[in-house]
Amino acid sequence: MRLHQLQVVGFGPFADPVSIDFDALSDAGLFLLSGPTGAGKSSVLDAVCFALYGDVPGDRAVAKRLRSDHAADDVAPRVVLEATLSGRRFRIDRSPAWTRPKKRGTGTTTEQARVVISERRPAADGQHLWHPLSTRLDETGHLVTRLVGMTLPQFCQVAMLPQGRFQAFLRARSEERHALLQQVFQTERFDRTERWLRERRVGLRRASDTHRDTVADLVSRVSEVGDDGAPDDWPADPSCLDAWVTGLTDAASTASADQSTSAQAAAAAETTAAAARAAGTELAALQATHAAARRDRDALEAAAAAHADRVQLVDRAQRAAGVRALHDLALASRATSDDLQERHAASVASLGRLLGVTTPDDAQVAEHHRTATRVLDDLARVRPLLRQVTEVESALHHSERSREGLAAELDRLSARAAQVPQSLAELEPRLASARDAVTHVATLDDELVALRARVLAARSADDLATDLASAQRDLAAATQTRLLAREALVEIREQRLDGMAAEIARKLAVGACCPVCGSADHPSPASPASGAPDEATERKARREVDDLEVVVEAHSQQVRGLETRLAAALAESGEALDTLLAAEDDTLARLDGARAAAATVDPLAARFDALLGEQDDVVRQREQLTATASRLDTEAAVLAARLEALREQVRAVLPDGADLDDLTAHHQQVADVARRCTDTAADLSRARESAAGTQRAADGAASGAGFPSSGAAAAAWLPEAELTALLAAVERHERELARTGELLADTDLAVAAAAEPPDLELLAEAHRRAQEEAATTRHRDLVLRERVGRLRALTGDVRTALAVWAPVRADLDLVADLAALVEGKHPDNRHQMRLSAYVLAHRLGQVVDAANLRLSTMSDRRYSLVHTGQRGAGETRGGLSLLVRDDWTGDSRDPATLSGGETFVVSLALALGLADVITQEAGGADLDTLFVDEGFGSLDAETLEDVMDTLDTLRDGGRVVGVVSHVPELQTRIPTQLRVHRGRHGSRTSLVLA
């Protein structure tokens, strides 16, 4: 980077325009920026930084007051810098935001910051022109940062060594050096790594606690089902749970197997009693079936005569059914023939009326059809000719109208030729004003985007406040509900403990031993009180409490999240929503006006160019219109001749006065009616032949079925429903005869009828007693089986939960150790250095090495800087401590023990070393201009000479070094000077060249 020209007006102490020629200063390589205190030496450096980055270095950036207090109210602050960046020459024109009086009315208004960056490029004629690249603040900032290769903090540390900063850095504590080095070297990613590890550790700990709660719940459920307590040390060693759960499951499986044997014996006894009861029931059923079959057989023999009559009717109806289809077809054929006879007679009569003659015969009908068809063909050829006549007439009329329009257009062009110069004169000032508005739109756009982001944050804060209040109410309600549920669970447990005797009594079985006293007799078992809770009630209440715990935690997380988001939204908005909305409305109104003016640039420019071209087009259009008029006259003559020829062809076919559509419709109707007469005559002949043949087929089918004619067969038909009912009755009678015959012939039924009737009540009572015993043993077996099943399922759940928990615990241990290590809290981190401090310690070591190269010369090889990882006095962590080694005594001491001049020399060396390291870090950025600000007044003559020799070495390779100081000795030591003079109405500058 090399500076060429700087122009300042209304900025800092410079109220009037000031121009600084850095090219003239650069010829000497080393120049002095001098002037009295407060004149504005540092403001020159501020102007350079502001032109490049839109901000000023150090504490002056906090004040946000860049406009000169000495400038007139209507003078806009402005800085214009010409510089070579990355081998390309640029001009950066910037203005900060400032407040000016309103042009109309009273009060003030704010002008937003603006920028224009242009690049110098060669033109076709050999000259160099400035080509604008961007007017957006963000685009310009990115472009400059990329071209310079450094951010503003890095640039200020490298190109503008600030006054007093490195003395403070030299004597600072490790934490303070950490903050400064982090800003310069941009090592925030290592802080983000530390933060991510901390958050990861917290997240894993929460996940591990969740898994531990899940395992604890499963352990509680296993303990409840298996009626055994869990090992006391399982939270420390979860692996012992597997053996405990497996032991409970094996014990339950053994008890279940014993009970299953008893259940099988009781089931066998119940099966024997059921078989005896079923055998008695089956014998009684067989005896009843035999008696019912005998009664049904007697009734069927009494109805034999009626059955024979039904069989005869069904036979005649079934034989007649085969003739019915042909008989119906013969009747339909005769009806069709009669209908066609009527249609043919009607068609012939219609043709006679149409021609005005008596009823014509078939030959006359054919002749009329041929005549009508021939006339229709002739008329069809006339229709295209008529269309061509219409088209030619339309074209001729259009040609005449076009000729009239050309005459009017020639008149209009003459009038327009006189209006164009006046329109150009009116349009030119409007176009210039619209182009000025384009630059203002970009500035207002940036301001509006920022305001809208803050408005959105303010609205979000209002919504979040409402949501937070609602979430806090929900949390309080959920907490109260959880408290009531816990109290209900405690009450249920107390009631269940009070009624435990009745609960045990419900599980007692006849003949089984009491689990409390061991007796098999239960003379007076306890009975539960009305509404006493049982195990299911307690389990339900416990699940409800667990569910409410989850709900309360969810509400708590929601409240914490909303509080965090609300704080972030309030910090982002900065002001009240009403104030922001008013500012947004004002900016939007100004932006709308600027956009409206800017939107007219392209239309106005296009209109301006169009008017310039329109003057040249008038003569050309007049010549074209004259040629077009001649062509239209020729076309009109040709069309008139063609129209007359077409009309002659139409008159040859269609007489004058005749209507083509009416004549066509008449002959078309005659042809259609004649064709219909011919078609119906042929259809009638075929129908008569079909009717005679169908009748002969129907009579033949009736004879084959045993009837004299198809009419006789039709008399024997029966309706479908009646025939179906007769068939069903015949089939039912025959089916009942067969069924009763089979039953009476069955040997088992005959033997059962001769046997003694069984005692069904006695057999049922024996079966009931066996069922009760089997049910009791089966219930015990099911209870034990359910316990085994639940224990096995819980065993799988416990193992799964442990398997899921194990990697989380391993990750937690690993992340916790790593987080402690990078935070400097692990025993292995002997210096207790954070990761970011470790990285910065490496950078600081590079800075110290580079600084010692300068310090060795400036201190006559006496002092050198030492970077140590040990903690300093009063520091909790080490890694960034600095000592100064005195090679004359061989001791290392704290930088605070240096004198003022020694401190300046060491600080200057440290600053130059940091500049060298940052230059390398930025990719070897080319910095051809360097400023050193103040501090030379504390040096003796010999030390000052050594320092100046060091600064002279900085000029190697064409670098320009500017020394900022008001020390008189430097004014004689450095002949080339840029002097800043202060005055009551602002400062000014002057050049002193060697």
Domains and CATH numbers, the chain: 2-149+925-992 (3.40.50.300)
The tokens for 375 are 């006339």
Q: How many CB atoms lie within 10 A of CB 611?
A: 16
CA dist 860 and 942 (Å) reads 10
Angle at 241 between CA 239 and CA 247, to 5 degrees: 125
pLDDT above 50 for 924: no
Give the burial class of 577: count Cβ atoms within 10 A of its Cβ; 0-12 exposed, 13-18 middle, 19 or more buried.
middle
Where are the alpha helices (H) located in 507-600, listed in sequence order?
535-573, 577-598
Mean pLDDT of 743-748: 78
617 vs 109, 419, 614, 649, CA distance in Å?
Answer: 49, 14, 5, 48
Query: In this predicted structure, what is the pLDDT of residue 92?
Result: 95
pLDDT above 70 for 164: no
pLDDT above 70 for 965: yes
- Per the document, the length of the chain is 994
Condensed to tens digits (0 to 9), the pLDDT of residues 687-713 reads 777 777 777 777 777 777 777 777 777
pLDDT above 90 for 630: no
Query: Which is higher by pLDDT, 887 or 379?
Result: 887
User: Of 475-479, 529-533, 580-584, where does the model show the most confidence?
Assistant: 475-479
pLDDT above 70 for 600: yes
Condensed to tens digits (0 to 9), the pLDDT of residues 633-666 reads 777 777 777 777 777 777 666 666 666 677 777 7
Give the burial class of 989: count Cβ atoms within 10 A of its Cβ; 0-12 exposed, 13-18 middle, 19 or more buried.
buried
Angle at 975 between CA 970 and CA 981, to 5 degrees: 75
CA dist 710 and 102 (Å) reads 118
Query: Which is higher by pLDDT, 940 or 390?
Result: 390
Mean pLDDT of 853-861: 78
CA dist 113 and 11 (Å) reads 13
Give kind and range of the element (H or E) at residue 965: none
Condensed to tens digits (0 to 9), the pLDDT of residues 760-771 reads 788 788 878 888
pLDDT above 80 for 340: no
CA dist 155 and 149 (Å) reads 9
Query: In this predicted structure, what is the pLDDT of residue 869?
Result: 65
**Range name among 379-388, 855-864, 923-932 with the lowest pLDDT average:** 923-932
pLDDT above 70 for 936: no
pLDDT above 80 for 110: yes
**131 φ/ψ sector (left φ>0, alpha ψ -120 to 50, else beta):** beta
Assign 931 to helix, strand or coil: strand
For residue 832, report the phi and psi dihedrals to the nearest 5 degrees: 50, 50
Query: Which is higher by pLDDT, 197 or 924?
Result: 197
What single-letter DSSP state applies at residue 14? B
Give kind and range of the element (H or E) at residue 80: strand 78-85
What pTM, to 2 d.p., does this model score?
Answer: 0.40
CA dist 153 and 61 (Å) reads 12
CA dist 683 and 680 (Å) reads 5
Mean pLDDT of 825-848: 76
Query: Which is higher by pLDDT, 58 or 861?
Result: 861
Condensed to tens digits (0 to 9), the pLDDT of residues 408-436 reads 777 777 777 777 777 777 777 777 787 77
Query: In this predicted structure, what is the pLDDT of residue 679?
Result: 76
Query: In this predicted structure, what is the pLDDT of residue 973?
Result: 78
The tokens for 663 are 């004549």
pLDDT above 70 for 34: yes
CA dist 460 and 678 (Å) reads 90
What single-letter DSSP state applies at residue 937? G
% the chain with pLDDT above 70: 85
Mean pLDDT of 329-336: 77
CA dist 38 and 426 (Å) reads 52
Contact 895, 883 (CB under 8 A): yes
**779 φ/ψ sector (left φ>0, alpha ψ -120 to 50, else beta):** alpha
Selection from 848, 918, 913 nearest residue 885 by Cα: 848
Mean pLDDT of 841-857: 81
Contacts of 11 (CB under 8 A, 6+ apart): 43, 47, 50, 66, 67, 68, 77, 78, 79, 96
pLDDT above 50 for 82: yes
Owner of token pair 């619209």: 434
Assign 893 to helix, strand or coil: strand
CA dist 698 and 691 (Å) reads 11
CA dist 410 and 960 (Å) reads 72
Mean pLDDT, the chain, as a whole number? Answer: 78
Query: In this predicted structure, what is the pLDDT of residue 657?
Result: 61
Contact 177, 844 (CB under 8 A): yes
624 vs 419, 616, 631, CA distance in Å?
Answer: 21, 13, 11
- Residue 844 banded pLDDT, cuts 50, 70, 90: confident
Query: In this predicted structure, what is the pLDDT of residue 531?
Result: 66
Owner of token pair 């004597």: 171
User: Residue type for 403, please?
Assistant: R
User: Of 153-157, 349-353, 471-475, 525-529, where does the model show the most confidence?
Assistant: 471-475
